[in-house]
């Protein structure tokens, strides 16, 4: 979703931003874990984006820009701060903890276990949850995720891999395997 | 190393590796059952996460609220354009109002002076130019007692070119006033005196001005509006005005 290099007008903003509404809300709800707070976050995101239209660089990724505003707004919100939303300094460099929860073969899940998976996603640390959601749910490219989270692509790749492993381990625990 | 490999495996499934690496991993997975199983699980997890992750939907009320707010929000470029248009419109409005106001004032003033000029001409055209004919100011002034709701002073005209002809009643805007007629050489000058509020359209100006070829000067003193008008020179009008002003202050 790259925007032409001419000036982004408010009318164009509305056309670009409203189709992202459902996705942004979903992401906001995953971050805040609460409906009213998610609504406040989305509302604040749209208001900030509209106010800061001039700061948007035409030719860059609009979706990533919107998600970045939402995420930054969340990180500086009371809920975000309370959740300790900052990423641990060693999160992407820490040595891998050997998994003791069985092999990957043991975690085939079906549709009936979706709620279990949702609970597991919910329990992931924020920095894992967001990268996982941006990739698998929002289907962002690594570059878009890097733009959104303001991290290098290499970090996106390693963090995503760790997030998936963490999710699998959580599921294995929940499935008692 | 295992970490790096799984990260590459994930990138492979996410379609984020260069095509040469994609082909290499593809070839490896085909010939490695454990890796093929791992890839299968990862694909299944990715799909399950995709489905489970689409968990929350905004309410239609919330969507409407945001849309209304977006539409209500002043758009930067529209706002700037609107501000510019507003500024131009405001300037035009002020200019128009000012023009109307000044035009209205001027029109009112012109009408008032026309009326005063008519009174002057009517008096001179009348067979009885004055109601009280006297060159004695001590005769003319008392004649107005009980006829007008104010009093005034008349100047001493000795050693001047001016002669007091007499006085008569005058009405301007339905308010009673005094009309004093003076002669200077062969010219007659009317001096009207009204209460200031009786002629709100009249504005004092600096010196003698012209209206339909008459010279006139108007001023206020002690709550009274004076208008001296005649076909004599502006200098005569000005001198008479000075005499009257001095008398009013005495």
The answer to whether the Cβ–Cβ distance between A158 and B56 falls below 8 Å is no
Per the structure, the count of domains in chain A is: 2
In 3D space, the residue among A3, A33, A32, A35 whose CA is nearest the CA of residue A20 turns out to be A3
- The last residue of a domain, from among A23, A52, A82: A82
pLDDT for residue B128: 79
Question: Among partner residues B48, B58, B73, which is closest to A50 by beta-carbon distance?
Answer: B73
Q: What is the pLDDT of residues B70-92, one digit of tens each?
A: 766 555 555 555 566 667 777 77
Three-state secondary structure of A37-86: HHHHHHHHHHHHHHHCHHHCCCCCEHHHHHHHHHHHHHHCCHHHHHCCCC
The answer to whether the Cβ–Cβ distance between A161 and B62 falls below 8 Å is no
For A57, the domain range is: 10-82
The answer to whether the Cβ–Cβ distance between A47 and B62 falls below 8 Å is no
Taking the C-alpha atoms of residue B167 and residue B148, their distance in angstroms, rounded to an integer, is 12
Question: Among partner residues A38, A39, A161, which is closest to B7 by beta-carbon distance?
Answer: A161
CATH of the domain at A109: 1.10.10.10
Q: What is the pLDDT of residues A23-33, one digit of tens each?
A: 999 999 999 99
The answer to whether the Cβ–Cβ distance between A165 and B6 falls below 8 Å is yes
Question: Among partner residues A14, A96, A132, which is closest to B49 by beta-carbon distance?
Answer: A132
- The last residue of a domain, from among A82, A115, A134: A82
pLDDT band at B63 (very low <50, low <70, confident <90, very high): very high
Using CB atoms within 10 A of its CB, is residue B147 exposed (0-12), middle (13-18) or buried (19+)?
A: middle
ipTM over 0.90: no
Taking the C-alpha atoms of residue A86 and residue A71, their distance in angstroms, rounded to an integer, is 11
Contacts of B67 in chain A (CB under 8 A): 18
**CA nearest A49 in B: which residue?**
B70
In 3D space, the residue among B111, B177, B117 whose CA is nearest the CA of residue B144 turns out to be B177
pLDDT for residue A97: 46
Boundaries of every domain in chain B: 2-53, 61-102, 109-249
A55 with A116, same domain: the answer is: no
The answer to whether the Cβ–Cβ distance between B46 and A104 falls below 8 Å is no
pTM of the predicted model as reported, rounded to 2 decimal places? 0.55
Q: Give Cα A13 distance to the centre of its chain.
A: 22
Among A52-56, A79-83, B16-20, B174-178, the least confident range: A79-83
Bigger pLDDT: B181 or B134? B181
**CA nearest A138 in B: which residue?**
B50
CB contact at 8 A, B53 and A137: yes
Question: Among partner residues B2, B51, B56, which is closest to A26 by beta-carbon distance?
Answer: B56
Using CB atoms within 10 A of its CB, is residue A23 exposed (0-12), middle (13-18) or buried (19+)?
A: middle
Does residue B192 have a pLDDT over 90? yes
Contacts of A121 in chain B (CB under 8 A): 49, 52-53
Architecture (CATH level 2) of domain B109-249: 2-Layer Sandwich (3.30)
CB contact at 8 A, B216 and B234: no
Length of chain B (residues): 250
């Amino acid at each position: 979703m790259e925007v032409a290099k001419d000036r982004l007008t408010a009318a164009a903003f509305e056309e670009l931003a409203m189709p992202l509404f459902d996705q942004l809300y979903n992401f906001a709800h995953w971050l805040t874990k609460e409906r009213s707070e998610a609504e406040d976050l989305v509302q604040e995101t749209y208001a900030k984006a509209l106010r800061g239209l001039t700061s948007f660089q035409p030719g860059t990724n609009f979706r990533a820009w919107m998600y970045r505003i939402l995420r930054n707004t969340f990180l500086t919100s009371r809920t975000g701060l309370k959740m300790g939303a900052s990423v641990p300094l060693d999160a992407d460099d820490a040595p891998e903890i050997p998994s003791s929860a069985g092999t990957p073969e043991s975690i085939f899940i079906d549709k009936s276990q979706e709620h279990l998976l949702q609970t597991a996603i919910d329990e992931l640390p924020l920095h894992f949850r967001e990268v996982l959601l941006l990739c698998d749910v929002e289907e962002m490219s690594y570059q878009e995720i890097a733009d959104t989270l303001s991290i290098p692509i290499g970090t996106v790749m390693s963090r995503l891999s760790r997030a998936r492993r963490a999710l699998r381990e959580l599921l294995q625990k929940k499935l008692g395997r | 190393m295992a970490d790096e490999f799984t990260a590459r495996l994930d990138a492979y499934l996410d379609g984020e590796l260069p095509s040469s690496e994609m082909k290499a991993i593809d070839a490896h997975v085909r010939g490695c059952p454990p890796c093929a199983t791992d890839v299968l699980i990862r694909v299944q997890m990715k799909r399950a996460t995709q489905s489970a992750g689409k968990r929350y939907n905004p309410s239609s009320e919330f969507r409407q609220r945001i849309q209304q707010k977006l539409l209500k929000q002043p758009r930067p470029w529209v706002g700037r354009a609107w501000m510019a248009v507003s500024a131009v419109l405001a300037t035009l409005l002020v200019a128009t109002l000012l023009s109307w106001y000044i035009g209205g004032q001027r029109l009112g003033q012109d009408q008032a002076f026309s009326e005063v000029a008519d009174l002057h001409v009517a008096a001179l055209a009348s067979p009885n130019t004055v109601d009280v004919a006297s060159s004695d100011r001590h005769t003319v002034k008392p004649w107005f007692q009980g006829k007008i709701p104010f009093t005034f002073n008349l100047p001493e005209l000795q050693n001047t070119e001016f002669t007091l002809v007499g006085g008569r009643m005058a009405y301007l805007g339905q308010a009673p006033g005094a009309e004093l007629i003076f002669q200077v050489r062969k010219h007659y000058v009317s001096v009207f005196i009204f209460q200031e509020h009786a002629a709100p359209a009249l504005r004092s100006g600096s010196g003698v001005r012209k209206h339909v070829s008459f010279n006139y000067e108007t001023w206020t003193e002690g709550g009274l509006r004076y208008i001296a008008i005649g076909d004599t020179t502006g200098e005569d009008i000005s001198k008479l005005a000075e005499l009257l002003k001095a008398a009013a202050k005495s």
